[in-house]
Amino acid sequence: MRLQDEPDLPAQINIVPMIDVIFAILTFFIMSTLFLTRSEGLPVNLPKAATAKQQQVPTKITVTVDDKGQISLNRKPVAIDNLTQQVKALVGSNSEVLVIINADEKVGYGNVVTVMDRVRQVEGAKLAIATQKP
C-alpha cells in the first residue's frame, strides 16, 4: 500500500560512470595508435627541407647512412662496394622501386653522393632523399 503524500521521483540516468568508461576507451585507442607507426630506416637526424613531398610508390628500399658513415640497407649493415649488387637483388624484376636514402645531417656530402651514385647504377630504381619539415 502506498501513501498519498509520497512524491513520485522521476527516473534518472547517471551518466558519470559512462563518461569514465568512454574516456578510458578513448585513452586506450589513442595510446595504441601511437605504436602503429613503422620506420623502415635506422634512427638518424634528417636534414630539414621546406619543399619535401611524400612519395607514393608500392615498393620501397631504405638505405641509411648514420653519423659515423656506416651504411645499412633495410636495417642490415652493408659495405659500400656491395651496395649496388644488394640493391639489384632487392629490385629484382620490379619495374619501379623507390630507394630512399636516410642520411644523417652530419654525414659528409661526398659519402651521400657516393651512395647516390651506387644506387643510380641499378636500373628501375628511383632515388629519393629523406628529409623532415622544419
**Which band of pLDDT confidence, cut at 50, 70 and 90, is reported for residue 5?**
low
Q: Is the dihedral of CA 121, 104, 90, 56 positive or negative?
A: negative
User: Concatenated DSSP letters for 92-122?
Assistant: TT-S-EEEEEEE-TTS-HHHHHHHHHHHHTS
Residue 83: which residues within 8 A CB-CB, separation 6 or more? 63, 71, 73, 115, 118, 119
pLDDT tens digits for 26-64?
A: 999 998 887 776 665 667 777 777 777 765 656 788 888
Q: What is the pLDDT of residue 21?
A: 93
Q: Please report whether residue 68 resides in a domain.
A: yes
Q: In sequence order, what are the beta bridge partners of 117?
A: none
Q: Which three cell numbers stand for residue 133?
A: 619539415
Segment among 6-20, 48-62, 78-92 with least mean pLDDT: 48-62
Q: Is pTM, for the whole model, over 0.85?
A: no
Number of domains comprising the chain: 1
Q: What is the pLDDT of residue 109?
A: 85
Q: Which three cell numbers stand for residue 49?
A: 627541407
Mean local confidence (pLDDT), 97-124? 86
Q: Which domain holds residue 96?
A: 60-129
CATH of the domain at 73: 3.30.420.270
